[in-house]
Amino acid sequence: MDVWIPKGEPVYGIAERLKTHSVIRSKKGFYAGTLLLRVSKKLQAGTYHFEGKMSLYQVIRKLQKGDVVYREVTIPEGWTAKRIAGLLFRQVGIDSVEFLKYVHDPSFCRVLGIEAESLEGYLYPNTYQFTPPVTAQEILQRMVEQFHAHFSDSLKARAREMGWTVHQVVTLASIIEGEAKFDEERPIISAVYHNRLRIGMALQACPTIQYLLPDGPRHLFKKDLEIRSPYNTYLHPGLPPGPVCNPGIASLKAALYPAPVNYLYMVSNGDGSHTFSLRLEEHVKAKHRLNQLRHREAL
């Protein structure tokens, strides 16, 4: 049985949590025991594991020593900082508002070695082990350290060879991450965007619109494509100002190594895969076929 004790929780609050999880039988007895042992102000926050029958004395001493367990948290690829903040609040009890404040603090970005205005895109998706209580800064430092570890010198050299900054690579990788469901398609999706950038064509990337939606991700409507924002790649050519999610290593590599194809268009097939086209008329036909298929399936 795991019980989380938040930082600053009063003794009666701790007793309530322990009683709710059947770790102790009496809240009053627990309170009296902490007074008798003179540790009522020395109980430490964190996640504790209680197994089998434990005496009141053992429970109190465990809390006094801070004998906490770690909490394992998996951050999926393609999640935004906002979604990550919500997950961390639920899993380890961090203040999500404070977490996002540091994410969007340019000076804190510099401290962590990120030359950007936000840590969005640099929160590396992975499985982490945190020992509560843990601060937002500590969690962000761990995640950014993983980004630095995975974005190796060879990848940085490749970016320089392309004439791209790390921030540009991460930004494109985040769009690829938001679009791709299958690893084999990532370099092809990357090529579509590289080809569009090369000829000055708008990226028209749906993940950049999803990033702007307070209720996303969801089905996009025509009005969504008209949202006034520098992140709207339907209205503004080139890359958006920054990443729109936090990509994994597969998308980072795809951004740096696009497939050697000349496709300019792609349409989702509805199952996560895409149909790629070189010419607009081919793209229109592919969309028409897909719409017909969807119509038949709806009948």
pLDDT value for 131: 80
Structure tokens at 218: 């969801």
pLDDT value for 71: 79
Q: Report the C-alpha gap between 298 and 295 in whole angstroms.
A: 5
Q: Report the C-alpha gap between 27 and 153 in whole angstroms.
A: 56
Structure tokens at 178: 């938001």
The residue ranges of every structural domain in the chain are 2-65, 72-150, 154-263
Q: What is the mean pLDDT of each run of 10 residues along the chain (299 residues)?
A: 85 95 95 95 88 93 88 93 95 93 98 97 95 89 98 98 98 98 97 98 97 91 96 97 98 98 94 94 88 64
* CA 26 centroid distance within chain: 41
Q: Are 5 and 17 in contact (CB under 8 A)?
A: yes
Q: Are 99 and 62 in contact (CB under 8 A)?
A: no
Assess if CATH 3.30.70 describes domain 2-65: no
pLDDT value for 72: 82
Q: Are 275 and 291 in contact (CB under 8 A)?
A: no
Q: Which of 170, 126, 131 is nearest to 49 (CA)?
A: 131
pLDDT value for 295: 62
Q: Are 47 and 73 in contact (CB under 8 A)?
A: no
Q: Where are the beta strands (DSSP E) in 42-182?
A: 46-49, 71-74, 127-130
- At 49 the three-state DSSP class reads strand
> Which helix (H) or strand (E) element contains residue 5?
strand 2-5
pLDDT value for 231: 98
In this structure, the dihedral spanned by the alpha carbons of residues 63, 66, 72 and 75, taken in order and rounded to 10 degrees, is 110
- Answering whether pTM is above 0.85, one says no
